[in-house]
A = this chain, B = another copy of it.
Amino acid sequence: MSTRGTSPNLALNEVVAHRRAAGERLVHLGFGESRLPAFGPLVDRLVAGAHRNAYGPVAGSPGVRAAAAGYFGRRRMPTEADQVVVAPGSKPLLMALHHVIPGDVLLPRPAWNTYAPQARLAGKKAIGVPIPRECGGVPEPSALRASIAEARARGRDPRMVVLTLPDNPTGTLAPPAIVREICAIAEEEDLLIVSDEIYRDVVHDPATPVLSPAEVAPERTVVTSGLSKSLALGGWRIGVARFPAGPAGARLRAAVVAVASEIWSTLAGPMQEVAEYAFGEPPELLEHLAASARLHGAVAREVHRIVVSAGARCRPPTGAFYVYPDLEPLRETLRAVGVTDAPSLTEHLLDAYGIVVLAGHHLGDEPGALRFKAATSMLYGETTEEQWLALAAEDPVNLPHVRKVLDVVEDGFRKLCSS
């Protein structure tokens, strides 16, 4: 029997729930959930879709696929409905891609904690490549070239590279120049690009340039996305993939649909109804998305300020709802309290300050590094009223209920780093 553990972020989430149930007061920065209520019209669509109790097409109904095609089209990726597949989350779509694409997988290092285990489930090797200094979500281009050469020399067969744009765990968006470089390498080395763009609508500043590899290398890029992050619908499980146009893209999509038909059949009908509305992006939804992105940005920047003030190195967040601090500058100080690596660092943060973060080694990073992921998206309030307030606020980080939690975080990091 396999001895793999539960995905560490989900496992940590359950640990926190148990410790809180036992009375502990914890600040939970260890789980990438947008803790916001479901937007009203989405609930209306779920209710409207309740009659959809029959099995529908594996890839999704024509209506939801057309809506998703429009969504991608409005992002400079012209798309036909028959390039789209919806699914119960983007996870199963990524898993299906691992099943149907041969060879090994190149991942940024660190990267979201599910890519590598999925690769292993499909019998592949996951090859981690360090990220650039300025951003995550992409391998550093020269390191990517070197890793490919080295992997081939070892007899491995890298055929696919996964990018995360914007990135989980670093909360940054790779700039267009780097995306172009990666695409050029993918062309030269004949790699398929899987571009995980689930945080695409959580770019904090609408002026930030966003370039998808599907614009640069359209014939070799599959884009995955979903509604879990931008619309805070993690619990509804709605994902989507966009395949390249043309015969090779169609074959790849058919192979994924075949795997889908054996693993999950289709996305639940009521959820397809929700997705059709959401991908249609009516004005009220766009407004809600923009407000959410503003909130995520404001709180992520504040947590970034806190950890940098305490002495950490940390890339400034520009998308998603994460920061990825590096406490290397404080290594000597931290050694005094027994903190020498990522596991001891995160354990100490939890036990001494009640702050829950995800250690970097769970994301493929070096266990010896003093790095961790902090999700900043669960600080908006405990009640839906508080969460709506945060969403509407001009200056959410100074709302009393948000400030109170941020103060716990600030206090904890200040004490940790001057301990």
- What residues of chain A have their CB less than 8 Å away from a CB belonging to chain B? 1-7, 10-11, 13-14, 17, 31, 33, 35, 37-38, 43, 46-47, 50-58, 88-89, 91-92, 95, 99-102, 114, 117-118, 121, 123, 228, 232-237, 251-252, 254-255, 257-259, 261-271
Contacts of A121 in B (CB 8 A): 99, 259, 262-263
In the assembly, how many copies of this chain are there? 2
A268-B235, A269-B236 known; A33 vs B54 contact (CB < 8 Å): yes
CB of A395 to closest CB in B, whole Å = 26
Contacts of A254 in B (CB 8 A): 6
Contacts of A261 in B (CB 8 A): 6-7, 10-11, 114
Could you list 6 further interchain pairs (A-B, Cβ under 8 angstroms) beyond the known A37-B51, A38-B53, A235-B266?
A2-B255, A35-B54, A38-B50, A46-B46, A56-B235, A235-B268
Contacts of A232 in B (CB 8 A): 53-54
A38-B53, A43-B50, A268-B88 known; A2 vs B237 contact (CB < 8 Å): no
Whether the pair A263, B118 counts as a contact (CB closer than 8 A) is yes
CB of A87 to closest CB in B, whole Å = 9
Whether the pair A37, B10 counts as a contact (CB closer than 8 A) is no
State the 3 A-B residue pairs at the shortest beta-carbon distance, nearest first. Answer: A7-B261, A235-B269, A38-B53
A73 CA to B172 CA, complexed, in Å? 50
A267 CA to B114 CA, complexed, in Å? 17
Contacts of A88 in B (CB 8 A): 88, 237, 264, 268
Q: Which of A7, A53, A232 has the most CB of B within 10 A?
A: A53
A-B contact pairs, 24 of them (CB 8 A): A1-B100, A1-B102, A1-B255, A2-B259, A7-B58, A7-B261, A10-B261, A13-B55, A31-B55, A33-B54, A46-B46, A47-B47, A53-B232, A54-B234, A56-B235, A88-B268, A91-B264, A91-B265, A95-B263, A123-B123, A236-B270, A237-B264, A237-B268, A270-B270
